[in-house]
Amino acid sequence: MAAVEQNPHPMPELPDITAYISALEPRIVGQPLEHVRLASVFLLRTADPPLAAVEGRIVRELRRIGKRIAIGFDDELWLVLHLMIAGRLHWRPPAAKLAGRNTLAAFDFPAGSLVLTEAGSKRRASLHVLRGAAALLAIDPGGIDVLACDLDAFRHALTVENRTLKRALTDPRIVSGIGNAYSDEILHAAQLSPIALTHKLTPPEWERLFAATRTTLQCWIDRLRTETNGEFPERVTAFRKDMAVHGRFGEPCPRCGEPVQRIRYADNETNYCARCQTGGALLADRSLSRLLKADWPRTLEELDALKRR
């Protein structure tokens, strides 16, 4: 079975947004935002307060709100960027030109320009200008911060509804900042199936999942910080060679050596190890199971036999 082409622009998740914020803090906090230049009228999604209201104001703080970056100014004004799938940030020399059709905006500071680009033809990235804590709260999907909660709060959030672990971890109303890539890594680390139901987990499984979630996210935050080494992160991607399963369909699992499997849906796929996570059972892939119907292999052994036909 040939590997499917991965989405080339996976959405930045909690570790990536944290890397951006860590790089931006020493560059723009305490500095005035001199000017905002828009190359795409579709980027700005609010009209009041006007964009000009933040120009000339000093940046006071940065916050992560889910997968968004919030830049705070005096008078409770906020610029909120959502990069969506293909949006990326770049640090350029002062007054950098808005070059190329993928460049959407530049935020000019004394020491440099923060440039927003978005690959592809679809314009999904967004910029909001907000005033006040209530407006900022209104755009927060409400998921818990797993790096700041305890096991009980984590378990409570994920069991309000009976969801699969994959859906629960990637729902921004339940957990803040986790998407397709890091949920794969978390579930592999916890040795849990992506389709296990939250209401069916045992206490030891909850402990493994909570520990794996915190450890995986913190590990990648630390790795990205080490990789950039004070430079601005220019290669934000959810496909990294050091990942255990995400984006590694068909490659050996680093724990057991069995080939990494997948479940495909829409433009995404879930990657997992059948040996480590599902007791050797293969999860039905929607497109292949339609094709193979009753011949869909249920175990790694059946898959091997199918390949030898």
Q: Render 26-39 in DSSP notation, one character per residue.
A: HHHTTSB--EEEES
My answer on whether 159 and 289 are in the same domain is yes
My answer on whether 41 and 76 are in the same domain is yes
Both tokens of residue 301? Answer: 């052994």
My answer on whether 31 and 76 are in the same domain is yes
Number of domains the chain contains: 2
- Reply yes or no on whether the pLDDT at 60 is more than 70: yes
Question: Domain end: 112, 138, 164, which one?
Answer: 138
- Find the domain containing 157 and state its range: 151-307
pLDDT on residue 29 = 98
pLDDT on residue 199 = 97
- Reply yes or no on whether the pLDDT at 211 is more than 50: yes
pTM of the model: 0.88
Within-domain flag for 67: yes
Distances in Å between the Cα of 164 and the Cα atoms of 33, 169, 193, 197, 299 are 44, 9, 9, 4, 21
What does the pLDDT average to over 165-177? 95
Question: Domain end: 95, 112, 138, which one?
Answer: 138
pLDDT class of 32 with cuts at 50, 70, 90: very high
My answer on whether 56 and 175 are in the same domain is no
Within-domain flag for 120: yes
| Residue matched to tokens 């307060």 | 49
My answer on whether 134 and 156 are in the same domain is no
pLDDT on residue 2 = 36
- Percent above pLDDT 70 for the chain: 88
My answer on whether 131 and 39 are in the same domain is yes
Gap between the Cα atoms of 61 and 80, Å rounded:
12
What does the pLDDT average to over 141-152? 97
Strand ranges in 50-207 using DSSP code E only, listed in sequence order:
59-65, 68-73, 77-82, 87-92, 103-109, 112-118, 126-131
My answer on whether 133 and 77 are in the same domain is yes
Question: Domain end: 102, 117, 138, which one?
Answer: 138
Helix residue spans in 47-177 (DSSP H): 133-138, 151-158, 165-170
Both tokens of residue 125? Answer: 């990235």
- Residue 57 has what DSSP assignment? P
My answer on whether 57 and 173 are in the same domain is no
- Residue 52 has what DSSP assignment? G
CATH of the domain at 270: 1.10.8.50
Residues in CB range of 259: below 8 A, 6 or more apart? 249, 250, 251, 252, 253
* Mean of all residue pLDDT scores within the chain: 89
Both tokens of residue 106? Answer: 């530049």
pLDDT on residue 236 = 82
pLDDT class of 123 with cuts at 50, 70, 90: confident
Among 162, 145, 163, 164, CA closest to 154: 145
Helix, strand or coil, per DSSP, at residue 241: coil
What does the pLDDT average to over 283-299? 54
- Percent above pLDDT 90 for the chain: 77
What does the pLDDT average to over 112-121? 93
pLDDT on residue 134 = 97
* Burial class of residue 235, CB neighbours in 10 A (0-12, 13-18, 19+): exposed
Distances in Å between the Cα of 38 and the Cα atoms of 9, 78, 88 are 22, 17, 15
pLDDT on residue 9 = 55
Among 115, 26, 132, 23, CA closest to 72: 132
- Reply yes or no on whether the pLDDT at 24 is more than 60: yes
